[in-house]
Amino acid sequence: MTFHERYLVGCAALAVAALVTVSPTRAQAPTQPQDAALNAEAAQNDWPTYHGTYKSYHYSGLDQINTGNVKNLEVAWMHFPERATRGLQSTPLALDGVLYYSGSYSRIWALDGATGRTIWSYAPELDEELVAKQTHSPYNRGIAIGHGNLYVGTVDGRLIALNLKDGKPAWDTKLLDSKKMTVGFTGAPLVVKDKVIIGAQGGEWPHRGPIFGVDGKTGQKKWEFFTVAGTEEAMKTWGGDSWRTGGGGGWMPGTYDPENNAVWWGTANPAPLYDWAGADWKKSGPRPGENLYTTSVIALDPDTGKLKFYHQELPHDAWDFDSSVGEFVMIDRGGKKLVVHANKGGHIFVYDRSNAKIENVWQLVKNINFVKSIDPKTGELIGRRDLSEGKVDPPLCPAIAGGISWNSGAYSPKTGLFYRIGQEWCMELTVEKSTPVLEPMAQLNIGATFKFIPPPDGPARGHLSGRDPVTGAKKWEVQYKYPPLASVLATAGNLVFVPDSEGIVHAYNAETGEELWSRNNGMGHNAGIISYMAGGKQYIAVPAGWGSLVADEFVALYGEPFKSMSKNTGALVVFALRQ
Amino acid sequence: MRIPFVTAASLAIIWPWLSTVAFAQQPNSADSTSSQAKTEASPNDLEGRKMFSSNCGFCHQDGGRHAGRGPKLSKSERSDEFMIERIKKGKTGSMPAYGAVFNDAQITALMAYIRGLDD
């Protein structure tokens, strides 16, 4: 080796050493979420799972950004995804200084959390012909990490594992016959022990809405639980053969309670959405009976997929107010171990998390008339308003988009407050008898026509309130002209972040609701906001990008700015404190 | 007041003599079908409406009379040809393609329903 060659080799070695030293992503080999982090109250340096941690607080324990300095928050970097059809709807994850997020068509990006530099990306080949026939598509709402892999579902019915280090596919398992069912997976998976758990789309789609347990290392399907007639007991709650086209599903991720070895999952509504049986729903109509386990919270054994216990929030849901929406907030209070879950109809259910027995039910939104009330001791629906064929009078409240939408609220163990968006709107409705269409591929089974209208007490609107999660006692509330549709983030910096529908991200004092900072991202939000640490610095990451199915209603309801708001585009916007 | 419309059943019967193209090429065909329908109401008249309710009403509110996720369809100035094409091929990010789901007779029934809508 000549001196020149030695010089070159030496320089190359130094360059490699410098890269290894400088780049945070090379200095630390990617790990997987540890049990301690997953079971913690707060997401600390990382955001390892969809709901932050298994306790589902959507809360970051980081406090570099706080009420005193949030005014200095500014954009650190941005990332622009390809093919952001229907905007961005996913919640990013962060691990060891790397941010991972998904976009439409289940495209994945791994980015340096400090700089935004792309580490790798992945775009699965989807059945595009099928995608063109889907309504609830091609958005993706999140990912999971574990076993050295990143997991993502697809709208053509697959669960894919990618190597976390380089994005190379590890396995690709077909779980659903989406060509027949028309739907697939849009919700984030959940890693529990050796399994990856994912729920199918469903609801108004006439199938049986399965939830799957898949081996995280091999991709082998280990179990499948049908949310429609998944047990013999449940089969008896469907008249005739109606269970075959019952709907159900579990299109948003649940969480895991390690003490009871229970996976909590919210299930979707039965089909058709609007049942015309009226008060005789137990014996007549398209799906006579209580329709277990639709519109329920269910606890599954992650090892076997067997049902441990459940509570059906709305027996025989005739209004499309399913339980798929809503995080499962695990709170210990007064010696009781509780779980708090939001239902789309606008009520918050509080359960004993060892058995799903009701501890309380409280009302988040004002305009509800599908029931008079829900018994806070038993969960029984009081004064339920079952529908018959024809025009529904007075109009139904809330509207089909719900009093509570599918994105998550946040809970701060520091303030003890639960921060949740509520929506006030109603709809005119005419119930029509319908027949499930299964051939050549399943079609929506709605059973009605409808039109959004303002509620009786004022304009259609939204609000964020800070409340006691168990009693519902309200400490403060902020009103919005247009209901925000994104998730909420609480932090140890005593802040609550709300990305709104007009495109503005707000930061509020978590104790008082006082607005301390805002920033316009230029397009509405319907995704999840997180916080994480990279290179010793705290970041706030929020995907912007408008176009969810609920967002699409805003044009008819409000006109501008939504009429002119860009759709089918998006940006991941990451904020940090000014240096 | 809602204007009655031609039934899916009756359209299916006349289908062999009424191709999609021919239907699309007659700009006033909707008006004529609507006027025919006024005198031909029967229990089967609801088929087009039922199909619309289940498959289209999720996005086109109030049975197509009001914009929602999708546009208002009643009194649409779009041509039959355009609408049939849109039903069959959809629009990425906005509307699914129903060409493999509905046969031509069913699409014709849907069109008859849409063209029969008042505001």
Please write the tens of the pLDDT for every residue from A358-377.
999 999 999 999 999 999 99
Write the CB contacts of A303 (distance below 8 Å, at least 6 apart in sequence): A193, A195, A261
**B59 min Cα distance to partner chain A (Å):** 8
Please measure the distance between the N-terminal and C-terminal CA atoms of chain A and give it in whole angstroms: 47
Residues of A with CB under 8 A from a CB of B: 85-86, 132-135, 138, 204, 272, 428, 430, 432-435, 437, 440-441, 443-452, 547, 549, 552-553, 555-556, 567-568
Which residues from chain A sit within 8 angstroms of residue B69, using beta carbons?
549, 552-553
B61–A444: do the CB atoms touch at under 8 Å? no
Contact of B27 with chain A, judged by CB distance below 8 Å, is answered with: no
More confident of the two residues A284 and B34: A284
> How many interface pairs between A and B have CB atoms less than 8 angstroms apart?
90
B93–A272: do the CB atoms touch at under 8 Å? no
Nearest to A484 by CA among A505, A451, A462: A462
DSSP label at A386? -
Strands A474-480, A489-491: pairing is unpaired
Cα(A42)–Cα(A303) distance, integer angstroms: 26
pLDDT of B31 above 80: no
Q: What is the pLDDT of residue A31?
A: 61
**A356 min Cα distance to partner chain B (Å):** 33
Q: What is the pLDDT of residue A335?
A: 96
Cα(A113)–Cα(A137) distance, integer angstroms: 28
pLDDT of B50 above 90: no
A111 contacts A98 by C-beta, under 8 angstroms: yes
Q: Digits of tens for pLDDT over chain A (579 positions)?
A: 444 444 444 444 444 343 333 344 444 554 678 888 899 999 889 999 999 999 999 999 999 999 999 999 999 999 999 999 999 999 999 999 999 999 999 999 999 999 999 999 999 999 999 999 999 999 999 999 999 999 999 999 999 999 999 999 999 999 999 999 999 999 999 999 999 999 999 998 999 999 999 999 999 999 999 999 999 999 999 999 999 999 999 999 999 999 999 999 999 999 999 999 999 999 999 999 999 999 999 999 999 999 999 999 999 999 999 999 989 999 999 999 999 999 999 999 999 999 999 999 999 999 999 999 999 999 999 999 999 999 999 999 999 999 999 999 999 999 999 999 999 999 999 998 888 888 889 988 988 999 999 999 999 999 999 999 999 999 999 999 999 999 999 999 999 999 999 999 999 999 999 999 999 999 999 999 999 999 999 999 999 999 999 999 999 999 999 999 998 999 999 999 998
Strands (DSSP E) found in A216-315: 221-226, 255-257, 262-266, 296-300, 307-312
pTM of the model: 0.89
Q: What is the pLDDT of residue B116?
A: 92
- Output the CA angle A534-A197-A86, nearest 5 degrees: 65
Residue of B nearest to A443 (CA): B55
Q: What is the pLDDT of residue B45?
A: 45
Q: Which of B44, B47, B55, B58 would best serve as a mutation to test chain A binding (most A beta carbons within 10 A)?
A: B58
DSSP label at A12? H
Question: What's the burial of A184, exposed, middle or buried (CB within 10 Å: 0-12/13-18/19+)?
Answer: buried
Residue A442, number of CB atoms within 10 A of its CB: 23
DSSP label at A554? H
Mean residue pLDDT across chain B: 69
Residue of B nearest to A180 (CA): B101
* Candidate from B53, B67, B90 with C-beta closest to A556: B67
Q: What is the pLDDT of residue A5?
A: 45
A133–B98: do the CB atoms touch at under 8 Å? yes
A178: enclosing H helix or E strand = helix A178-181
Structure tokens at A511: 């104790």
Which residues from chain B sit within 8 angstroms of residue A445, using beta carbons?
54
Contact of B62 with chain A, judged by CB distance below 8 Å, is answered with: yes
Write the CB contacts of B19 (distance below 8 Å, at least 6 apart in sequence): B104
Strands A489-491, A59-60: pairing is parallel
Q: What is the pLDDT of residue B13?
A: 34
Query: Quick one: pLDDT band at residue B67, thresholds 50, 70, 90?
Result: confident
The reply to whether ipTM tops 0.85 is: no
* Burial A98-116, CB ≥16 within 10 A → b, else e: bbbbbbbbbbbbbbbbbeb
More confident of the two residues B63 and A487: A487
CA dihedral (B99, B105, B106, B112) in degrees, to 10, reads 120
* Candidate from B54, B61, B97 with C-beta closest to A444: B54
Instruction: Enumerate the active-site residues of A.
Output: 320
Q: Report the amino acid identity of residue A58.
A: H
Cα(B27)–Cα(B35) distance, integer angstroms: 14
**B27 min Cα distance to partner chain A (Å):** 28
Spatial strand order of the sheet with A195-199 comes to A190-192, A195-199, A210-215, A221-226
Query: Quick one: pLDDT band at residue B93, thresholds 50, 70, 90?
Result: confident
Cα(A102)–Cα(A124) distance, integer angstroms: 11
More confident of the two residues A528 and B70: A528
Strands A417-424, A426-431: pairing is unpaired
Backbone angles phi, psi at A90, to 5 degrees: -100, 160
Cα(A469)–Cα(A460) distance, integer angstroms: 25
Please measure the distance between the N-terminal and C-terminal CA atoms of chain B and give it in whole angstroms: 8
Q: What share of chain A is helix, strand, coil (3-state, %, to 5)?
A: 10, 35, 55
Q: What is the pLDDT of residue A162?
A: 98
* Candidate from A132, A432, A556 with C-beta closest to B53: A432
CA dihedral (A7, A11, A13, A15) in degrees, to 10, reads 180
A446 contacts B54 by C-beta, under 8 angstroms: yes
A450–B61: do the CB atoms touch at under 8 Å? yes
Spatial strand order of the sheet with A296-300 comes to A255-257, A262-266, A296-300, A307-312
Cα(A402)–Cα(A424) distance, integer angstroms: 9
Cα(A451)–Cα(A395) distance, integer angstroms: 9
Taking residues B23-42, report their average pLDDT: 34
